[in-house]
Structure 1
């Protein structure tokens, strides 16, 4: 069983908007809807959890239209909220495979999700971080939030639900869609330009 966990409880302060980050619209739809729909069509994903917090009440209400399980967190931070969920057997079994994914990847597709999971299961390691080469960010004019050894984390990770230290591999994807992690207004503007080229 593979469970997807969408982390949708952050304030999104870098966007400097007066509404919730997962609800920011890209091409007329809230960003989180693209992520949910991509996960729904994955051949691997059996269950979708959406982690919300007191910061994202509108998101919590919006996602009820989808076949997902809403998980209410304290909103103390990404790591704290993730740890609480992974240790809660109401939502995930011990050692269950969990794909954590951010809510601001509006161009991700089910094909890309399946590609990531193909690689995860082939590697036979408990954890995997998905990154994109930094040069792709430069090519498309996107500002990365963090670069480590020429790679940028995408916000997509695989791990087992046991809150233990896990042996991790890094999967380098060259899908530009994984680079469009919308964190700033500049990112949002770039995404609109990308849409025009894509469609």
Structure 2
């Protein structure tokens, strides 16, 4: 049963999602490519697919970078088919995040959720909250209609830098919003019109696994 922000099943606007699976994970170390590193006994990319399946997402386009051939192979050999949401795997260009994002967005041809594969604690409710902010302000997804009823604005979901640091997560990029330093989470909605910044304080979107300390933190929180 798909969860909503309130934890109850309900109707919600629906969007496709672009899942970005690039990155060699050189800062993380180890032998496995970053999307395939396990948290809570499952590869991070599979956990993100689980979250998308629990959200108001119609289908997923996974863009796999040529820099992560094992991830691309794992998606095509089973992870995509095993996902509880229709998932198509596309080849990225290898030219970076923006180029791979363009590959994914061109395949969905319209507004979409976008998310990076290094958010292993992501929950369906986080995705639904981002969609809700994109289509109807801060209304919970269960209280708004179809995303096709009106314009879908772009949303950048952020976490306060102080929240991430208190949690023990690394901070790679940040900017100031309403007088507070915030860090992008890698969860966004790409829609029409100006971008809106939404700030949340949730462990589930605060840990991007980029370094060994992030991986240790994610595994500890996943097991708690």
- Specify the TM-score bucket, using the shorter chain as the normaliser: 0.7 to 0.9
Distance 2:63 2:88 in 1: 9
Structure 2: which 5+ runs fail to align? 1-13, 138-150
Instruction: Please give the alpha-carbon distance, in whole angstroms, between the structure 2 residues aligned to 1:140 and 1:92.
Output: 35
Which residue is 1:119 aligned to? 133
Structure 2: how far apart are the matches of 1:120 and 1:153?
16
Taking the aligned partners of 1:73 and 1:15, their CA distance within structure 2 comes to: 21
Unaligned runs of 5+ in 1: none
CA separation of 1:105 and 1:184: change in aligned 2, threshold 3 A: same
TM-score (norm 1): 0.87
Matches within 5 A, 1:59-74: 59-63=71-75, 64-65=80-81, 66=83, 67-74=86-93
Q: What is the alpha-carbon distance in structure 1 between the residues aligned to residue 219 and residue 104 of structure 2?
A: 34
CA RMSD of aligned residues (A): 1.7
1:67-118: CA deviation from partner (whole Å, max 9, x where unpaired): 31001111110012212333x3xx222xx11111000111111112111211
Question: 2 CA distance for matches of 1:40 and 1:85?
Answer: 18
Q: Is the 8 A contact 1:99 1:157 kept in 2?
A: yes
* Paired position in structure 2 for 1:3: 16
Corresponding residue pairs, total = 187
Report the secondary structure of 1:13's partner residue.
Answer: coil
